[in-house]
Structure 1
Amino acid sequence: MLEAFDAAVNAALTPWRQGMLLVAVAWFTDIGAGHTAVAVAAVASALLWSGGRGRFVAPLWLVFLGAEATTWSIKFAVGRLRPPSLPGIEALSPSFPSAHATVALALYGFMALTVAAGAPRHRWAILGCGVLLVFLIGFSRIVLSLHYLTDVLAGYAIAGAWLWFGWRRVARPP
């Protein structure tokens, strides 16, 4: 049943897979890539530390690495095949769950919460931008036919659990 649903969503996005939209979604996919995420987490850690908010650094890495370890363990345990690929786009690891979606919510979600906690007057705008970024990274994976919708939702669920766990360790939610 889920396979049919995922296939239908994938097919419905076929008209979106052309031109400049593919360039834009590829950019969002790159933001969720592992190498980019590690660099972003390192820079965020340095900024947090130098800004007197060092108590957020260890939980940021706990959430990021814990969510990634969980995702990759499940990915290889389940071994789900990816959707039919677009020309010139290739992914080598199993599809379920989406590591990009996991990174999006774990890392960028934690960062949005951290920034919002320090800027209460702007917290809803900050959180809204965080939600939009997380959505666009996950959506990019589906548009590029690298994941099914349920892969992305599972990545969000894993990251959401780690985000809840890690955030409760450092601060009250904004």
Structure 2
Amino acid sequence: MTLSRTSEPADPVPPVRPVPAASPVLIAVVVTLVALGAFLALWATLVSTPFLAAFDTAVVTEIAAHRPAGLTAVMVVVTDLGSPTAMITLLVVVALVLGLRRRSWHPVSFGLGGLAAVLVVDVGMKLVVVRPRPPLELRAVAASGFSFPSGHALVSAGVLLLIAHLVLAHHHRHLVAATLGGGLAIVAVGVSRVVLGVHYPSDVLAGWCLAVVAVGAVVVVDLVVARRRDGLSGEVPRRPFDGS
């Protein structure tokens, strides 16, 4: 006679817990601190060693020696489109349109606050570093003021980042296209300043870093204020990029 074995129940499989998404505030803080660290490292290298200044001069000198007229004409158009005046106008228009469509003052207040931060950082750092521009014989266009950081690079990157936060926080369907387009525009404006001989490469890099620092700080404040407002009103905080 065969004895049957009583099968024991298998141990239950523990449910897989989803990994919690990183807080948008934390992400913004980390990105801002990384950009700040990159800028400080760039600045320290510039003032403490001759290598970066020599590299900057060599690059601008080499470009000026082989700069064709056609390339200069294209770079003039790009640099004009990315000028602070043009970018500020773009930001004001976008903020007003979004404010009217959403029936909210938030796009306008955020845009103006972010713009103020970008401009203060630009002017303030120029007065602190007081780096002269490349020599006149290397320039293809007229330019005045100090060189570090590049105002065109800082303001164009800052404005496009501000617009990205305003638009993509509500609609992320075109996130990839917007990121690529904005990134190419930022790079094009920065490159145009070096090709035209009015800025050194490190000026442009510094402008990009400071744009992230300025906009990142404003975004952190905006996210914290929104979270507190939603908490006080009893609303469920809207997740960034939820497409609502």
TM-score (norm 2): 0.65
**C-alpha contact (below 8 Å) 2:139/2:198 kept by paired residues:** no
Work out whether 1:73 is the aligned partner of 2:113. no
| Two-structure CA RMSD over aligned residues (Å) | 2.1
**C-alpha contact (below 8 Å) 1:29/1:140 kept by paired residues:** yes
CA distance in 1, matches of 2:53, 2:139: 22
Work out whether 1:21 is the aligned partner of 2:71. yes
Work out whether 1:57 is the aligned partner of 2:111. no
Change (3 A) 1:127 1:170: farther
**C-alpha contact (below 8 Å) 1:67/1:162 kept by paired residues:** yes
Task: Please give the secondary structure, in 1, of the residue aligned with 2:126.
Answer: helix
CA distance in 2, matches of 1:75, 1:155: 10
**C-alpha contact (below 8 Å) 1:64/1:107 kept by paired residues:** yes
CA distance in 1, matches of 2:180, 2:140: 33
Change (3 A) 1:2 1:173: farther
Work out whether 1:120 is the aligned partner of 2:172. yes
Work out whether 1:37 is the aligned partner of 2:93. no
For structure 2, the residue ranges without an aligned partner over 5 or more in a row are 1-50, 224-238
Change (3 A) 1:94 1:50: same
CA distance in 1, matches of 2:63, 2:127: 27
Opposite residue 66 of structure 1, the aligned amino acid is A
Of 196, 218, 239, the residue aligned with 1:166 is 218
**C-alpha contact (below 8 Å) 2:76/2:192 kept by paired residues:** yes
**C-alpha contact (below 8 Å) 2:60/2:194 kept by paired residues:** yes
Cα-to-partner distance string for 1:92-118 (whole Å, 9 max, x where unaligned): 101111111111111012213333333
Comparing 94-103 with 10-19, greater Cα deviation is found at 10-19
Work out whether 1:134 is the aligned partner of 2:186. yes
CA distance in 1, matches of 2:88, 2:129: 25
Task: Please give the secondary structure, in 2, of the residue aligned with 1:13.
Answer: helix
Task: Please give the secondary structure, in 2, of the residue aligned with 1:101.
Answer: helix
Cα-to-partner distance string for 1:129-150 (whole Å, 9 max, x where unaligned): 1111111111111110110011
Query: Following TM superposition, by how much is the alpha carbon of 1:14 offset from its aligned partner in structure 2, in angstroms?
Result: 3.2
Of 95, 100, 111, the residue aligned with 2:147 is 95
Task: Please give the secondary structure, in 2, of the residue aligned with 1:120.
Answer: coil
**Counting helix residues as a fraction of each chain, which structure ranks higher?**
1
Cα-to-partner distance string for 1:114-167 (whole Å, 9 max, x where unaligned): 333333221111111111111111111111011001111111111111111122
**C-alpha contact (below 8 Å) 2:99/2:108 kept by paired residues:** yes
CA distance in 2, matches of 1:37, 1:121: 24
Opposite residue 61 of structure 1, the aligned amino acid is L
Q: How many matched pairs?
A: 174
TM-score (norm 1): 0.88
**C-alpha contact (below 8 Å) 1:33/1:100 kept by paired residues:** yes
**C-alpha contact (below 8 Å) 2:160/2:182 kept by paired residues:** yes
Opposite residue 48 of structure 1, the aligned amino acid is L
Structure 1 or 2, whichever has the larger Rg, is 2
